[in-house]
Amino acid sequence: MSKFVIIVLCLLCLGAYANSLNSGFIFDDKALIVNNPSIKSQRLPIEIFKKDIFEHWVGKPSFGLMYRPVQVLSYWLDYKIWGLNTIGFHLTNLILHLLNGILIYLILLRLFSDPKLSAIVSFIFIVHPLHVPVVSYISGRADLLCLLFILLSIFFFLKEIYALSLLAAVFALFSRENALLLFLMIILVIGFKKGKKNYALFLPFIFIDLLYLTLRLFIFGFSGLASYSQGMALSLRLINCANIVINYISLLLFPFNLHFFRLTPFITNFFGVKSILIILLSSLMIFFAWRSKKNKIILCGYFWFLAGLIPAFFLMDGFLKFSQAVMAESWIYPASVGFFLIVTFLLLKIKKIGLVMCSVLIIYFGILTVYNNYLWKDDITFDKNTLKYLPKDTPLRRILIDDYLDVGFYNEALKEINELSSYYGNDSLLVTIEMGNYYFFTKNPQKAIECYNNILVKSFLISYREAVCFKMLGRIDEARIFGRASFNLNPYYDPAKKLLKELNVNAS
């Protein structure tokens, strides 16, 4: 049975994601892979264990302090094999997703001894379209790796190979910060596994969390322990979190109009109509869980789902530039297993009809996944789909402008800049930067410099482009000044180092 299930999982994974293999590097892939000197190192890049994952791109630790050395290490291994061939990077994501599906099957089988239930849950997990931002997006690998090592830790724990379980926990923490909650999953597993229960076995996982937090403190200082929380009152935070949970359930059941920056308005009145409805729905779910307290499958699904979504409690208001609660589709990746467990159990209760319904869902979700992969195939397609669901005056429109410029679609870029200026004005910083970039890419260095001169605080990238413009005009001394400024802001940016070398400036 297990071999057959694994073969089916392989076929489902390949069928659902084969059309993602030819997709390109998009969005953060450029910073994390294409412009990341660490992954191009001939030797194992030890420096990745000493800095934030975006530090090489912004010149300093990024917002949120994403300490994910295992993610960068996986890119380094991919680069050693494939170079910058995107097929290899996408194939790795696909394999990691497949391994997660296999581990889910094996863990559920060991917990509940129900081959049919375990298999169907893993099938739905593999093909569900809400996982496209994790699998089809190379930068989504942190979620894949984190869940992989969480599942490996649980699997080894169930096999009572505790040393390997703890080692997997360490790798999970070095993949993504969500793994701090692994101890909750271990408590859950102890509660539902067969045989004698020793809850003290979760304590070593707490100890590993403390060591990890100590390491972050050593590398980043006290900012390494800060969360995204913006100080929202606890009552409002709880009601907003409940609202996000309900929205996620809706997306899991009806995964339509999927997009990257998913936002939902903040609930600011605890006694409003929407708050009351959310409280009623939450109460119904709690009541259903209480009525099912003797059903270990449903209870396990509930706790798994809620434990997996705890990060949303802290992250939802961490991006104030959106002025709304953020609920990224990728955040549901670990939690979805619990939801699929409940739904599958309830459907299988309907006997033969339930099995047919599960089969239909698997096929339908697989078709939706194939379609949604297309929306992640390149920058322009991704940008347009993302902007379709955001306000027209969103500053994120600049992403589409920059991507148009990168591929030489200058007329389209200028049209988007004019659209941006209609909301922000010609003299706004946003429009000034993009006009400068437009002139830079269209080889008009004098006009580009005029725009860049109006920017008081310059990024390393703008300083670099300014240096290039001065070099094009033959103003070498000024090119050296701005080239050095770019290097000082971000000593990891290779084009700036190359430019300084051409200008006979020591970049060290």
Q: Supply the CATH number for residue 403's domain.
A: 1.25.40.10
Rg of the chain over Cα atoms, rounded to whole angstroms, equals 25
3-state SS, residue 325: strand
Inside any domain, residue 267: no
HSE on the CB side for 305, CA within 13 Å? Answer: 22
Q: Residue 197: which domain range?
A: 27-83+137-223
The residues, any chain, with a CB within 8 Å of residue 389's CB and separated by 6 or more, are 257, 259, 261, 262
306 neighbors 312 (Cβ within 8 angstroms): no
pLDDT at 173: 96
Q: Which residues contact 223 (CB under 8 A, 6 or more apart)?
A: 61, 65
Residue 507: the pLDDT is 63
Domain count, the chain: 2
| pLDDT value of position 172 | 97
The reply to whether 70 falls in a domain is yes
In 10 A of CB 271, how many CB atoms?
Answer: 7
Alpha helix stretches (DSSP H) within 378-459: 379-387, 397-406, 410-424, 429-441, 445-452
Domain end residue (candidates: 201, 223, 245): 223
Looking at the domain assignment, is residue 114 inside a domain? no
Between CA 319 and CA 485 the distance in angstroms is: 29
- Is 41 among the domain residues? yes
**End-of-domain residue from the set 157, 191, 223:** 223
pLDDT of res. 62:
63
pLDDT value, residue 148:
98
CB 154 within 8 A of CB 189: yes
Beta bridge partners of 326: 263
Helix pair angle (429-441, 445-452), 10° resolution: 160
pTM of full prediction above 0.85: yes
**pLDDT tens per residue across all 508 residues of the chain:** 688 999 999 999 999 999 999 999 998 898 899 888 888 888 888 888 888 888 877 666 665 678 899 999 999 999 999 999 999 999 999 999 999 999 999 999 999 999 999 999 999 999 999 999 999 999 999 999 999 999 999 999 999 999 999 999 999 999 999 899 999 999 999 888 777 778 888 999 999 999 999 998 888 887 777 665 556 677 788 888 888 889 999 999 999 999 887 888 888 877 778 888 888 888 888 888 788 778 889 999 999 999 998 887 777 766 656 677 778 888 899 999 999 999 999 999 987 798 999 999 999 999 999 999 999 999 999 999 999 888 888 888 899 999 999 999 999 999 999 998 998 888 888 999 999 999 999 999 999 999 999 988 888 899 999 999 999 999 999 999 999 998 888 888 888 888 988 888 776 6
Which of 171, 195, 196 lies closest to 182, judged by CA? 171
Q: What region, left, alpha or beta, does residue 59 occupy, with left being phi > 0 and alpha being psi -120 to 50 degrees?
A: left
Asked whether residue 73 is assigned to any structural domain, the reply reads yes
CB 198, CB 91: distance < 8 Å = no
**φ, ψ dihedrals at 264, nearest 5°:** -140, 135
Please check whether residue 326 lies inside any domain of the structure: no
List for the chain the helix, strand, coil content (%; round to 5).
70, 0, 25
Question: What does each C-alpha distance from 92 to 17, 128, 141, 336 come to in angstroms?
Answer: 12, 18, 9, 21
Give the span between the Cα atoms of 466 and 439, in whole angstroms.
11
pLDDT score for 187: 92
Q: Does residue 453 form part of some domain?
A: yes
280 alpha carbon, distance to own chain's centre:
31
CB 133 within 8 A of CB 333: no
Say if 259 falls within a structural domain: no
Domain boundary among 169, 196, 223: 223
User: Taking a C-beta distance cutoff of 8 angstroms, is the pair 236, 197 a contact?
Assistant: no
Instruction: Give the pLDDT score at 362.
Output: 96
Token readout for 172 is 């999970």
